[in-house]
Each structure stands twice: as C-alpha cells, then as structure tokens.
C-alpha cells in the first residue's frame, strides 16, 4: 500500500514594487547635477513596498543610503547585480502620517569624488483625498503645548513637506471649550493660504495654490479665553515639491 504524502503549500504574498531613477549630470550647475525620473522627488507609500532605485552616470557608494527619517535604522538597501548602479529597498511599513514622510538621500561615487549626497527622496503616505487632508491640532491648556496628531509637537518644529499643489489642509482643533481659532486672524503666514474658519472657530482650512512659494512658514493663533496665544515655532511648508 502506498502512503499518501500531503504536501504543504506556502503562500507568497506579492509586495508591490515602485521604481525611481536618479540621473547624475557632471556638466550641470552645482545644485542641479542630480535629477529624479519621474521628476518629482517623492513616491506615495501606503503599504509594504519594494523600491527599485537605478542610478545613471555614476555608481552607488558602499553605504548607498542615508536615512533622515526614520533616523535610527531606516530600511536596508540591497545591491542588484555587479554594476553598483541599482538597489532594492524594502519598505516594510508606510509612513505614519502624510506630514511625517520617510526621507532618504543616496550616496554615490562620481568621477573624482566619492560619497556625494543626492537630493532628498521622500516616501509619502497618501493624503485623505487626492487634493486634501485633515489634521488634528491639539492644544493643552494646562501646558500650552501645541501638537499635530501623528506629526509631533510643534515645540520641536514640525516640518510639513510634500504638499502636492494645489492642496487643501483642514486643521481640527482639539482643546478645551474655551479655546478657539482666533478670528479674524487664525494663522500667521503668506496671504495665499486664504484661511477659512467654520462657524464655531474650531476648524481651519488653508489652501496651497500652484503659485505658492517653494518654502514658507506659518503659525497658529488661538483665543484662549480672553488671551491670544500663538504656536511657538513656525511650521515649514514645502508647497512645490514638483519643482525638485
């Protein structure tokens, strides 16, 4: 009698792959020698993803990536082939929030110089919708601390990057009932923000147009009872990510 051997079948989950090409041009002006293809220096990452990075006209250094965020370990890069011009990077988790992207730069060897750093590549969690997102702004009346939910304390200079223009952000105020966005000036920043308040002054919507400055800053203004309070540090907004 022949014994029946039961075979186990392992299920291999398909991990999505995204590709990015980094092009080096030694004849370009300083600051313009690197370019990404596709041209925008970001990728949307909403799940575990493998990134294939290809380098043209240079080679990757022995330590090919520098992670700015997450700064502790980052995600390892594995060389592909023997030409030192292609990497596989396994992103095992997406960024926690649209306003806290994973950020890295590439280290490359070019003719006459090693370990040259590329511009930053941002791995961005998709916003709530194609052209807008919602963020909770929390104000603790007993400590005076401003916090953007999932984006860190504003006392440590939150950097809001990678806004796809035109773009709309609605801040929902979470605070004591005596705290409201200040009217008529709930935010300090450029005029193109065009701040809009709801009727009870707890929701603030700002718009970033395609004509916005590349870098700007803003600060929240709250009415805490009869006292006006301004957030301690400006939020830096990179409003034109597509410009590189």
Q: Given this model, what pLDDT does residue 131 score? A: 67
DSSP 243: G
Given this model, what pLDDT does residue 238 score? 53
| Domains of the chain with bracketed CATH | 17-124 (2.60.40.420), 132-243 (2.60.40.420)
Task: Give the contacts of 169 (CB within 8 A, at least 6 positions apart).
Answer: 132, 133, 134, 135, 163, 205, 206, 208
pTM greater than 0.75 (yes/no): no
Q: Report the b/e string of 217-235 with b at 16+ CB within 10 A.
A: ebebbbbbeeeebebeebb
244 residues of the chain, pLDDT tens digit each: 344 434 444 344 588 999 999 999 999 988 889 999 988 788 889 999 999 999 999 999 999 999 988 877 789 999 999 999 999 999 999 988 776 788 899 999 998 899 999 998 988 887 666 667 788 889 999 988 888 775 543 433 333 444 455 678 889 999 999 999 999 999 998 888 889 999 999 999 988 776 665 556 788 999 999 999 998 866 656 544 433 3
CA distance 150 to 132: 17
Residue by residue, DSSP assigns 134-155 as EEEEEE-TTT--EEETTTEEGG
d(CA 52, CA 16): 11
Q: Could you give the count of Cα atoms lying within 13 Å of 181 in the half-sphere of its Cβ?
A: 28
Determine phi and psi for 79, rounding to 5 degrees.
Answer: -60, 145
**What span, in angstroms and rounded, lies between the C-alpha atoms of 215 and 4?**
69
DSSP-derived pairing of the beta strands 49-56 and 17-24: parallel
Question: Using only C-alpha atoms, what is the Rg of the chain?
Answer: 23
Tokens 């039961």 appear where? 6
pLDDT score at 6: 44
pLDDT of residue 209: 73
| DSSP 8-state symbol, 129 | B
- 56: tokens are 């043209």
Strand partners of residue 171 = 135, 204
Q: What is the pLDDT of residue 211?
A: 64
**Calpha distance 135→30 (Å, rounded):** 37
147-158, pLDDT tens digit by residue? 877 554 343 333
pLDDT value of position 210: 63
**3-class DSSP state for residue 241?**
helix
The partner residues of 200 in beta bridges, in order of sequence, read none
pLDDT at residue 2, rounded to an integer? 40
């Amino acid at each position: 009698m022949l014994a029946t051997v039961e075979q186990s079948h392992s299920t291999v989950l398909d991990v999505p792959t995204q590709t990015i090409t980094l092009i080096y041009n030694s004849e370009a002006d300083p600051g313009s020698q690197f370019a990404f293809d596709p041209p925008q220096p970001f990728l949307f990452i909403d799940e575990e993803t493998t990134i294939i990075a290809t380098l043209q006209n240079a080679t990757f250094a022995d330590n090919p990536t520098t992670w700015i965020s997450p700064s502790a370990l980052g995600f390892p890069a594995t060389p592909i082939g023997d030409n030192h011009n292609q990497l596989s990077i396994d992103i095992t988790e997406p960024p926690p929030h649209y306003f806290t992207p994973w950020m890295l730069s590439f280290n490359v060897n070019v003719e006459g110089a090693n370990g040259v750093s590329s511009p930053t590549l941002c791995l961005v969690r998709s916003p709530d919708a194609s052209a807008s997102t919602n963020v909770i702004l929390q104000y603790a009346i007993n400590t005076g601390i401003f916090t953007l939910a999932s984006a860190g304390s504003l006392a440590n200079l939150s950097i809001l990057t990678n806004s796809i223009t035109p773009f709309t952000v609605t801040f929902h105020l979470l605070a004591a009932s005596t705290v409201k966005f200040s009217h008529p000036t709930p935010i300090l920043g450029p005029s193109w923000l065009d701040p809009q308040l709801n009727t009870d002054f707890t929701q603030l919507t700002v718009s970033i147009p395609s004509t916005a400055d590349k870098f700007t800053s803003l600060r929240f203004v709250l009415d805490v009872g009869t006292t006006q309070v301004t957030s301690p540090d400006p939020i830096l907004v990179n409003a034109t990510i597509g410009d590189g």
